């Protein structure tokens, strides 16, 4: 299989499963309890576990970026080529979109539904900047330590981010776009999605600025 096809298929499948885990566990938690703390805890555990497994499994297939801004950062540090970047990003977005549709169907929601869950305000904007900064920095700081370390650090960081940020640490524009299409616990109003993505971009840019000065 050509490398570009391998990247596309790997990222597509991994991102599909990532969003199925995020959205599906959120809906399941919503169905089982009215306690938002329990819902968030269940969603956190599932997401952290899913991230660890997916990064470990797909690291040697596609690189397991699972995130357009991770791929962009890899391109800016010359770890991937421009042609590869243009393969990563569509695969990630399309995979996430399929993932949200499947998760919706799993729990008898409409296959596509616009979220009515508002996530706005400066506090959330700042949270996404910080969450994305931390994610990108941690990935680059642990790259030399191997895929298992990266997977463990990313999974635990995002799990923590669910609790220490008011945005619940999306830190991923492809995931943010997908979560627009589920009117459930993990959804985001489409009017708020551009703000999330802009905040994530700022966080990624800030991380790259620091990474170029601290990490070789």
Please report, for the chain, the start and end positions of each structural domain, with discontinuous segments joined by +: 3-214
pLDDT at res. 2: 64
pLDDT digits (tens, 9 = 90+) for 73-90: 999 999 999 999 999 999
pLDDT digits (tens, 9 = 90+) for 88-117: 999 999 999 999 999 999 999 999 999 999
Please give the model's pTM, rounded to 2 decimal places: 0.96
3 contacts: CB under 8 Å, gap ≥ 6? 84
According to the CATH classification, is domain 3-214 in 1.20.1080.10? yes
CA distance 153 to 147: 10
Nearest to 66 by CA among 43, 26, 44, 93: 93
pLDDT digits (tens, 9 = 90+) for 108-155: 999 999 999 999 999 999 999 999 999 999 999 999 999 999 999 999
Burial of 102 (0-12, 13-18, 19+ CB in 10 A): middle
Nearest to 21 by CA among 135, 159, 150: 159
CA distance 99 to 105: 10
Nearest to 99 by CA among 19, 43, 22: 19
């Amino acid at each position: 299989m050509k490398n570009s096809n391998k990247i596309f298929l790997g990222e597509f499948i991994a991102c599909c499963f990532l969003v199925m885990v995020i959205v599906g566990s959120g809906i399941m938690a919503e169905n089982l309890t009215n306690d938002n703390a329990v819902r968030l805890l269940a969603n956190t555990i599932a997401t952290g576990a899913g991230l660890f497994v997916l990064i470990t499994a797909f690291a040697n297939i596609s690189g397991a970026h699972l995130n357009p801004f991770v791929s962009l950062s890899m391109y800016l540090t010359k770890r991937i080529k421009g042609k590869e970047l243009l393969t990563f990003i569509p695969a990630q977005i399309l995979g996430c979109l399929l993932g949200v549709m499947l998760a919706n169907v799993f729990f008898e929601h409409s296959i596509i539904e616009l979220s009515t869950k508002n996530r706005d305000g400066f506090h959330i904007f700042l949270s996404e900047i910080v969450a994305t900064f931390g994610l990108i920095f941690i990935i680059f700081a642990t790259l030399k330590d191997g895929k298992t370390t990266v997977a463990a650090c990313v999974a635990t960081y995002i799990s923590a981010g669910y609790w220490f940020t008011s945005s619940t640490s999306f830190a991923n524009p492809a995931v943010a776009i997908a979560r627009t299409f589920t009117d459930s616990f993990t959804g985001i109003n489409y009017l708020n999605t551009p703000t999330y993505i802009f905040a994530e971009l700022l966080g990624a840019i800030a991380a790259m600025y620091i990474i170029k000065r601290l990490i070789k």
